[in-house]
Structure 1
Amino acid sequence: MKRSKENAEHYRWGDECDGWRLLHQPGLSIIHERMPPGTEEVRHYHQQAAQFFFVLSGQASIELNGERHELHAHEGLEVPPRTPHQVFNRTHAAIEFLVISQPTTAGDRVVLTD
């Protein structure tokens, strides 16, 4: 079956952010996410999952283990397991990106508090 935002499972997270589960299997997860301007996710890491963030539109800021990276459309960044990270939208436009995780991040997230 073809997958898109129109037929994938949708969920809300954070400050009015959206996610669509394009593929949700124990060994692999692909999520299309949308973050409105000025939003951010909570800083965290995954114990087992490796992730790859790929920007579809806009500009995302990703803090990866204390280092800030700016990703533009059609650029991506790998996040190894156990690496603290956080995604920010510091722009005035929504951003959309894919988060590809292997294995799935279900039950694998550890939230960090400062």
Structure 2
Amino acid sequence: MSHKTALKNAPPYITKDGSEIRELLHPALHPVRHQSLAEAVVPPGVATVLHRHLATEEIYHVTSGNGTMTLGAEQFAIEVGDSIVIPPGTPHRVENLGHDSLHILCCCAPAYSHDDTELLE
């Protein structure tokens, strides 16, 4: 198991919420034990499916682009440099309102799992 991942070498896949993900660090692939780190990419004009994770706490950090975050009953603008905490059980989604792809670093603890993703729409 490697202690390093280059973004360019991380193969993309689509999560249950419809976002394209590249796992940068995950217990299934790396010697990290209690969390995962991934980059999500949301194309212009696209929104992820409203969903929640019953066990996982997430932190999003926007590295490129802008959009809108729905977090529970709140909705607010997100842009480069913003960090958002998503408590377990909280419905959430992002929508890309810009002309370029929206890139978000996603830290999950415990590590991301399709089984912990509940679609809400």
- Structure 2 counterpart of 1:6, one-letter code: K
- Structure 2 counterpart of 1:36, one-letter code: P
Q: What residue in structure 2 maps to residue 19 of structure 1?
A: 21
Counterpart CA distance in 2 for 1:59 and 1:49 is 24
Cα drift, residue 34 of structure 1: 1.2
Percent identity, aligned pairs only, is: 29
More helix by share: 2
- Structure 2 counterpart of 1:56, one-letter code: T
Cα drift, residue 92 of structure 1: 1.7
* Structure 1 vs Structure 2 CA RMSD: 1.5
Q: What residue in structure 2 maps to residue 45 of structure 1?
A: 52
Give yes or no for the alignment of 1:71 onto 2:78.
yes
Q: What residue in structure 1 maps to residue 68 of structure 2?
A: 61
Cα drift, residue 102 of structure 1: 0.3
1:44-75 Cα deviation digits (max 9, x unpaired):
11010000010001113110002112111111
- Structure 1 counterpart of 2:48, one-letter code: E
Cα drift, residue 28 of structure 1: 0.6
Task: Give 5+ residue unaligned stretches, structure 1.
Answer: none
Q: Which runs of 4+ in 1 moved over 2 A?
A: none
- Structure 1 counterpart of 2:20, one-letter code: D
Q: What residue in structure 1 maps to residue 120 of structure 2?
A: 112
Give yes or no for the alignment of 1:100 onto 2:103.
no
Counterpart CA distance in 2 for 1:45 and 1:12 is 16
Task: Give 5+ residue unaligned stretches, structure 2.
Answer: 28-32
Q: What residue in structure 1 maps to residue 42 of structure 2?
A: 35
Q: Which of residues 4, 14, 32 is equivalent to 1:2?
A: 4
Aligned residues: 111
Give yes or no for the alignment of 1:82 onto 2:89.
yes
Cα drift, residue 105 of structure 1: 2.7
Counterpart CA distance in 2 for 1:102 and 1:60 is 24
